[in-house]
Amino acid sequence: MYEQVSHSLLNEILDELKPEIRRQDLRYFYTRLGANFYAIYSLFHALYGTREDFREKAIKLVEVMASRYIERSAELEAQDKERELNHNWFLNQEWVAMALYADGFAGNLDGLCSRIYYLQELGVNMLHIMPMLLCPEDASDGGYAVSDFRRIDPRVGSLEELQQLGASMRKRGMLLTLDVVVNHTSDEHEWAQKARAGDKKYQDYYYIFPNRDIPDMFEETMPEIFPETSPGNFTYDEEMGQWVMTVFNSFQWDLNYSNPDVFIEMLDVLLFWANQGADILRLDAVAFLWKKIGTTSQNEREAHLILQLMKDCCQVTAPGVLFIAEAIVAPLEIIKYFGEDAVIAKECEIAYNATFMALLWDAMATRNARLLNLGIKSLPNKLDRATWLNYVRCHDDIGLGFDDRDIVAAGYEPFAHRKFLVDYFTGQYEGSDARGQPFGRNEKTGDARISGSLASLAGLENALEAGDEKAIDRAIQRILLLHGMIMSFGGIPLLYYGDDIGTLSDYSYLRDPNKAGDSRWMNRPRIDWEKAERRHQHGTVEQRIFDGIRKMIAARKGIPAFADFNNRELIDLDNPHLFAYLRTHPEQQQSCAVLVVANFDANPQYLELNQIRYRSLYLRGTLQDLHTGEIPRLFNDRLVIPPYRFYWLGHAR
Ligand code: GLC
């Protein structure tokens, strides 16, 4: 669309750009800037248009985009163009991701580089390296309290090592994902230190108040994120003698995006990491980017505008780079991070499917798929060119963010049901073999979340301790079942390091006073490579889990119906223990359809095939489980699904 005001501003900006920028060959940059400028202008104006210095800041914004474009390597630029051409490239079923801490996985970046073969052996081709930037040692929040946005913690490695790793991954066709902690900085970041020292410019980077008047107003409606370790949303800074907004930990200062300088600084950081070779940027805690008195200060409209503006600007400088929204919020809110009211994603192309994750754990505890079915049904379809990250575990707690209406519809009372889940996964519930810990218990609201490694939550720790072979078997089946779901649901499966060999919760954090209060450290392990070696020994726990996952990954890559084009149809069944969906490929024949069916119960369950045959002609022939090659048992046209097992049923090959 041609819009006079924005285009005349653009002309002025181009005339006023610094001479060193004007001298460059910026052909592609200008084409993209022209195409995106109306959107960029509108968003920047909606956020900052009332300021007197609006024009000056708009020039600065374009200068940052142009400067980072000039620095972008020829190789990355060529890749940008290729991805513009083939813009749905990431919806393909070939992608399988893993998130890991470089130090926990392999000591440091160098170690990680020499262990890439392991990821390839498993079939992982997308790597999310958890944050590794400089953080205060005693107040790091697992890497999310950053004190320098451009410096890697020297204990983990250097920029050169990261570039080498990136280059080695690119050669192997692997994608690199890096974090950008956009919502806050550590209180030891240079900006915070300057603010503390009284520098007004940097005090305006944060939400800083001389007394409790405004903080108290905010507190009336803002929930607490870490109620046990960091109650409230403000911290009194002795040195400054003022109150700072700290939504997460008291040492994490929230950035104030109503200041355009903050936006421009953080865009610069995003583009910096894009230029270091990141294919995907994970934007941390995006729901919190805008604060407003009288609201929860989550999911505000302006938070979405900020993300749209970041996306539009990134599209000009580094269009091949994708964004992941880390927004662990209510199901109907999560979906908005793809960009509301659009056809194709215009905020983040990828979002964590926290809803599916939590629902899977619900099915595990209740042994039925009632809430899982309802929760997935209430999840609206995604936009085009948008995809989920489907995961079972990550470095954080498991929040029970279901929709209360779905809980009621499933026949439970919301408060009691959430309590049951916490009791179940912390092993308090009679008969539970899970070994998690509560996280973020809030005495005022009764809320709690859950920490613990996948294996320990699935009963493996308990079973191994008891030496109970049957229970070990059951835990392994559960681990594989959960992976079978994230690999077939639609979206990119995101594995978590250690889960592929059944790593138990790590209790060493309890001995470290900086970590002891935060049970999420249970699920941030150091990989035991001797244990990992046992994946080659037939019959070991490690081999059974590793090979199970490896085979699923290999099978997934060959199943076009598992690509993500909103091509999943949930199937209503009479049997509440089963969860089933049909996957088809929009451009391939029905004969490629795959019926996914999972049994969450401890007993075998039956599926009446005639109930679902009408859905796809193809389901009439002989069906084969595509990840094991097995032809499953049929009894009077009923499919028998053993306890905690799943099938990907397709055309027998
Ligand atoms: C994200 C991270 C979490 C961190 C929080 C604050 O939710 O995943 O680990 O504590 O942001 O940065």
Residues of the chain with CATH 3.90.400.10: 184-254
**What is the position in ligand 1's atom list of the atom closest to the CA of 248?**
6
> Is any atom of ligand 1 closer than 6 Å to the C-beta of 396?
yes
Nearest to 459 by CA among 491, 504, 421, 395: 504
Distance 324 CA to ligand 1 centre (A): 14
Enclosing H/E stretch for 480: helix 469-486
The rounded distance, in Å, linking the Cα atoms of 323 and 178 is 10
* Per-residue model confidence (pLDDT) at position 611: 77
Report pLDDT for 370.
Answer: 98
Q: Which two tokens stand for residue 80?
A: 């940008």
- Using the mean position of ligand 1's atoms as its centre, give its distance from the Cα of residue 234 in Å: 17
Q: Which one of the listed residues 187, 261, 279, 284 is annotated catalytic?
A: 284
What pLDDT score does 2 carry? 64
Nearest atom in ligand 1 to the alpha carbon of residue 328 is 7
Check if 326 has its Cβ closer than 6 Å to any atom of ligand 1: yes
**For residue 281, what is the DSSP state?**
E
Residue nearest ligand 1's atom 3 by CA: 396
Ligand 1 contact via 285 beta carbon (within 6 Å): yes
141 ligand 1 Cβ < 6 A: yes
Residue 617 pLDDT: 63
Amino acid identity of 185?
T
Q: Decide: residue 523, CB within 10 A, 0-12 exposed, 13-18 middle, 19+ buried.
A: buried
- Residues 47-55: contacts with CB under 8 Å, at least 24 apart: 47/257, 47/258, 47/260, 47/263, 47/302, 47/305, 47/306, 47/309, 48/260, 48/263, 51/260, 53/260, 54/260, 55/9, 55/12
- Span from the CA of 225 to the centroid of ligand 1 (angstroms): 10
Give, using CA atoms, the residue closest to atom 12 of ligand 1: 144
| Mutate which of 132, 146, 184, 284 for ligand 1 pocket (most atoms within 8 A of beta carbon) | 284
**Pick the catalytic residue: 187, 279, 312, 326?**
326
What type of residue sits at position 328? I
**Which atom in ligand 1 lies closest to the alpha carbon of residue 142?**
9
Task: Tell me the β-bridge partners of 244.
Answer: 208, 235
CATH architecture of the domain 565-651 equals: Sandwich (2.60)
Distance CA 498, CA 527 (A): 6
What residue's CA is closest to ligand 1, atom 8?
A: 396
Query: Which residue among 186, 187, 396, 439 has the greatest number of ligand 1 atoms within 8 angstroms of its CB, and so is best to mutate?
Result: 396
Cβ(284) to ligand 1 under 6 A?
A: yes
Contacts of range 538-547, beta carbons closer than 8 Å, 24 or more positions apart = 541/460, 541/464, 541/472, 541/476, 541/501, 541/502, 542/501, 542/502, 544/476, 545/476, 545/479, 545/480, 545/499, 545/500, 545/501, 545/502, 546/122, 546/500, 546/501
pLDDT of residue 372: 98
- Could you tell me the distance, in angstroms and rounded to a whole number, from the CA of residue 455 to the centre of ligand 1? 22
pLDDT value, residue 343 = 74
Predicted confidence (pLDDT) per residue in 465-474, tens digit? 999 999 999 9
Residue ranges of the chain whose pLDDT lies below 50: none
Give kind and range of the element (H or E) at residue 202: helix 200-203
pLDDT of res. 590: 66
Q: Alpha-carbon torsion 218, 220, 223, 225, what sign?
A: positive
With a 6 Å cutoff on the Cβ, whether 496 touches ligand 1 is no
Nearest to 346 by CA among 133, 39, 117: 39
Which pLDDT does position 417 carry in this prediction? 97
CA of 399 to the centre of ligand 1 (A): 13
Ligand 1 binding pocket includes 145 (Cβ within 6 Å): no
CATH no., domain 184-254 = 3.90.400.10
Instruction: State residue 345's pLDDT score.
Output: 72
Active site residue 326: yes
168: tokens are 């080695």
Beta strands in 488-614 (DSSP E): 492-496, 568-570, 578-583, 594-599, 605-608
Q: CA separation (Å) from 32 to 16, 21, 60, 79, 280? A: 19, 16, 17, 15, 20
CA-closest residue to ligand 1 atom 9: 396
Could you give the 3-state DSSP secondary structure of residue 285? Answer: coil
Q: Which protein residue's CA is at the shortest distance from atom 4 of ligand 1?
A: 144
121 is catalytic: no
Atom of ligand 1 nearest to the CA of 183: 12
Q: Write the pLDDT tens digit of every residue in 403-437.
A: 999 999 999 999 999 999 999 999 999 999 999 99
Q: What is the bridge-based pairing of β-strands 208-209 and 234-237?
A: unpaired
- Cα 81 to chain centroid distance, Å, stands at 26
Radius of gyration of the chain measured on its C-alpha atoms: 25
**How confident is the model at residue 126, as a pLDDT?**
98
pLDDT in tens, 570-601: 999 999 999 999 999 888 766 789 999 999 99
Expressed in angstroms and rounded, the spacing between residue 278 Cα and the centre of ligand 1 is: 20
Half-sphere exposure of 249 (CA within 13 A, CB side): 20
205 token code pair: 């980077």
397 CB near ligand 1 (under 6 Å): no
Give the alpha-carbon dihedral of 535, 537, 543, 546, to 10 degrees: 30
Cβ distance 591 to 617 under 8 Å? no
- 5: buried, middle or exposed (CB in 10 Å: 19+, 13-18, 0-12)? exposed
Distance CA 408, CA 351 (A): 27
- How far apart are the C-alpha atoms of 353 and 356, rounded to whole Å? 6
Whole-angstrom Cα distance, residue 310 to residue 117? 34
Measured in angstroms, how far is the CA atom of residue 285 from the centroid of ligand 1? 6
How is the chain split among helix, strand and coil, in percent rounded to 5?
45, 15, 40
**Which residues of the chain does CATH 2.60.40.1180 include?**
565-651
Query: Model pTM?
Result: 0.97
Predicted confidence at residue 109, as pLDDT, reads 98
Give Cα separations from 320 to 190, 277, 498 (angstroms): 31, 10, 30
